[in-house]
Structure 1
Amino acid sequence: MEPPKRTALTRLTNALATPSQLQLSQTRGLSESLLSSLHYVGGSLTQVAGAILNIPAPTIATSAIIFHRFHLVAGFLEPSIPDTVAACLYIASKACEFPLRPGEILAAVDTASQDPLAAGGKRISKRKCTRANTETLDHWELRILTTLAFDLHVVTPYTLCLEYLVAANVDKVRQKIIAQRAWNYINDTMKTKICILHQPNVIAVTAIWLAVREADVELLDGEKWWEAFDVDTEDMGHLLLLLRQGRDIATRERDRIRSGQKPTLTIEDVKARILEEANLSSR
């Protein structure tokens, strides 16, 4: 991952994907559309499992960012998405000082895998945490940590979003409305590679821009207020394009599930799809 260039802003920046890492990710025999769908499957599974576990949004986001970073480097051919999602939640829970028992995490990921539309508060069926379960979790925890060189520095956009609204002198009534809508957009970015392609200030500002447009209000008297937060329109435009792609995947999967059809990318079918595309590309 590419380290932040400005030391003074290290507290507000994340390591982002480098051009060489993106190129390698796209030349492993998988189509760009499948890669986007796989990142979405993992990010969505992370959020649903995190909601079941009732852990804070920044902790879930930290787990999602670690997931996307790891798979960008390691690819999708070997790891099982549920295994790495569980390991990332385990790592993030400890990094964010919100420790969870391995059995809780494994049960939540199992529940989320079986029900893609599960919501927070869903009852988790009792499951015995066997030695094999914990050994798999421990294996992928170590694998992820070593692959990322134990660099777990993660900045999430949530706090920045609230700070920017305060800095823009948004009154408390509008602030609450905008913050909730912006929060939802930030959640969407964590389901995709957006969080490893753009810095958290760009994500926070773009989420606010979308929320402000929905609420039909203006910030800073209609000026280009985003420039005050070191964000340009080119970055915002690229993020919006990626966000639209993620929402297209989400809409497709949700509509299929709600109509009683099988999802296009179930956890069980993911490995088969990956191997199928990899084999076709090698011929």
Structure 2
Amino acid sequence: MSVALNNPLASLEQLETTVSRRDGISQDMEEDLRNLGAELIQSAGILLKLPQVAMATAQVLFQRFFFMASLKEFGIVEMGMGALFLASKLEECFVRMTHLITVYDLIIRKMKGQSIKVPLDAFSQKAYNLKNMAIAAEMQILRKLGFIVHVQLPYNHMINYLRILGLEDDQDISKIAWNYLNDGLRTIVYVTHEPPTIACAAIWLACREQRVKLPCLPGKEWWLLFDVDAINFQNVAAHIRRLYYKKLDRQSLPLYAKNQ
């Protein structure tokens, strides 16, 4: 990855042909697995009562990782656990490994329609295997990303931009835009675009949904105030909107790598 000032971004070459696609995984399958992996991280983070910044950081690290590694070699469960464990340290809201694997096991069993009455036995072979997977995954993330794990998120940008645009008091716009930022974490946009672009995309989508006209500024389009290109933020918006038109078949998607 090329290291930008704020965030490491995927290169054009990485975007054109990802490691997973070189391994024979289709673009649709890769999108679905990235989506589900990020969704599992968010669900686990909520149950663990982690702050949104930790869940978002974990999802960005997860998405970055799979530009450096193949979904054929690494599964979304192990890498999701590893990313969330690492992010909890980076954001200083450390989560215990036992709690992490117990929550992941609960979510996966529920998703598969299995009984969740009895929680994971922390001393079982299954728990031991999950712990080892999470620890190994964290190390793989650090190694593949070259220990470059800084993540800058667009939430503060969005809040500041709404204030500048005179929309800070519109609770509906703020809430919807925030949700779009969260949904964007299930796509690759946080690895392809800088935070200001993602923030503008969320504001634009929220205003379109609420039929709120963004202010016209003398001699300047509103997004130019934030040094953002219209094509770029509309591209981000298109990626996010794709999520709502594509059904995710959680039951049939492989949670673990094929070589495991």
Q: C-alpha deviations, 1:169-227, integer Å up to 9, x for none?
A: 3252x1x2211100111111101111111111111110011111222223333662111
Match status 1:92 vs 2:94: no
Residue 45 of structure 2 aligns with an amino acid whose one-letter code is: G
Q: C-alpha deviations, 1:93-116, integer Å up to 9, x for none?
A: 000011000011111222222334
Q: CA deviation at 1:123?
A: 9.9
Structure 2 residues not aligned, in runs of 5+: none
Residue 28 of structure 2 aligns with an amino acid whose one-letter code is: S
Match status 1:62 vs 2:57: yes
Map residues 1-283 of structure 1 onto 2, 5 A cutoff. Answer: 1-4=1-4, 10=5, 13-22=6-15, 23-25=17-19, 26-116=21-111, 125=119, 127-128=121-122, 130-172=127-169, 174=170, 176-221=171-216, 224-249=221-246, 252-253=247-248, 263-265=251-253, 267=255, 271=257
Q: CA deviation at 1:127?
A: 3.8
d(CA) in 2 for partners of 1:115, 1:163: 39
Distance 1:75 1:199, change over 3 A: same
Q: CA RMSD in A?
A: 2.6
Q: Is the 8 A contact 2:105 2:120 kept in 1?
A: no
d(CA) in 1 for partners of 2:148, 2:119: 34
Aligned-pair identity (%)? 28
Compute the TM-score of the two structures, normalised by the length of structure 2: 0.87
d(CA) in 1 for partners of 2:206, 2:18: 35
Partner-residue secondary structure (3-state), 1:231? coil
Q: CA deviation at 1:126?
A: 5.2
Q: C-alpha deviations, 1:34-57, integer Å up to 9, x for none?
A: 111111111111111111112111
d(CA) in 2 for partners of 1:271, 1:206: 33
d(CA) in 1 for partners of 2:214, 2:111: 37
Q: CA deviation at 1:87?
A: 0.6
Compute the TM-score of the two structures, normalised by the length of structure 1: 0.80
213-222 or 33-42: bigger deviation: 213-222
Higher helix fraction (1 or 2): 1
240-249 or 66-75: bigger deviation: 240-249
What is the number of residues matched between the two proteins?
251
Residue 88 of structure 2 aligns with an amino acid whose one-letter code is: S
Distance 1:247 1:266, change over 3 A: farther
d(CA) in 2 for partners of 1:124, 1:215: 44
Q: Corresponding residue for 1:280? A: none
Q: CA deviation at 1:233?
A: 1.4
31-40 or 59-68: bigger deviation: 31-40
Q: CA deviation at 1:165?
A: 1.0
Q: Is the 8 A contact 1:60 1:92 kept in 2?
A: yes
Q: Is the 8 A contact 1:102 1:134 kept in 2?
A: yes
